[in-house]
A and B are shown apart, each in its own frame.
Chain A
Amino acid sequence: MQLPDPETLLSEITTKIKNNITANTAIVGIHSGGVWIMERVLANIDQTLPYGTLDAALYRDDYAQRGLKRSTQPANIPFDVQNKDIILIDDIFYTGRTTRAAINELFDYGRPASITLAVLINRGGAELPIAPQIVGATILITPTQNFKLSQSEQGTLALALENSQDANHV
């Protein structure tokens, strides 16, 4: 399969995010890939927006089966969530469970006016009535396959397709 260049996808979603910015917009990245993308988006728009990061680990629905992952990152939401138009950024959209957890976490900071989900890739396979509004590309892959986004020291994004025995829900 010919994989798209994640840098191209990034500039596409950056343009779409720009068009969505309101007077009350704040941006939130989900660890780790969503935070990398958020940092690049913020660097490429010519205005300052409130932003934050979260790791939805404390809200995940697989805690009872899997426990806490080892590298849970602290959430950092330094702005008031109340009445904000939040653009939530993740790298790959799959089951929708991470998004569900992130939405729940955001609501524990306040009541946002709206939440828009932006992702680099929608890989198909949603298990919940949740879908991203801003998408770089839709590429359907099977449950044994997995997109892995990585970041170089300079911040450049790279994309790989992995095959695994275990259908990991990331």
Chain B
Amino acid sequence: MSYLVLACTGLDKAEGSVAREVAIRLAEEAGAAIICPVALNRIPARYKKALAENRLVVVDGCATGCAGKLAAAAGAKPALRVLVSDVVKQAGSVLPPDLRLGPDALDLAREIADEIAARQAAAPGPQPAVAQKPGPVAFAPPADFVVVVHDKYEFRIPVTGFFFNANDIWVQVAGSRARVGISDYMQQRLTDITYVDPPEIGATIEQFDDICTVESTKAAFEVVSPVSGRVVLVNEALEDAPEAINEDPYDSWIAELELSAWEEDRTLLVDGPAYAAEVERKAAED
């Protein structure tokens, strides 16, 4: 596959029909792979891999720019974008309104396709349409828990792999990355979590800065960061389902950071067993 082509469906205006014809020609003659705009809109996952690996050419019929907008919605940046109505205007010609293309319109489509094919043949490298996110870092789920029992409550604390600050926030480190979330003890104190206001990606956080705010039916809670670093990912799933923090607090990370001072930050955190002792003390004071 040399590149992908995403074009207008060609069912609204003649310019669109030309765009569609361009896509078919590029597929037949230049080995381009067609992305169906309707399928992309309906099942974006189908093209996820192809967009992550290949260059994309977008051919729109008119200025409505449906194909370009679909590409943007899929997070894809075209290497080349062609607008048929512009080409027609620049040539000073007028396209008959028929959706079934006449000889002149077919000639126009061939010219546009040849031009795109020539430019793509000369283009360097694959330039994937969807920028690759940094490779996934392995964050293993907790292997075993200490359970602190207080009255009718049970607070689970991972024995290994997690560190905690005194504000009941956990951090799990993998390489130079860290995920942060709310401890089981704190999520139970907050009760039903209704909203997570995520931090900005790219934000620089110092240890003990508030990283974001979480709201529950009972209170608003500031998530005080256990580590310093730059926010590289936020857990978007929490936007629709913040209650996941109540259901599985150690899997429901809020943000992932690229660490900037882990060794130093670590000295002000406690490990699982020490945090369990802290929870026991706090629960007794509640």
* A, B in one complex: no
Chain B residues close to A by CB (< 8 Å): none
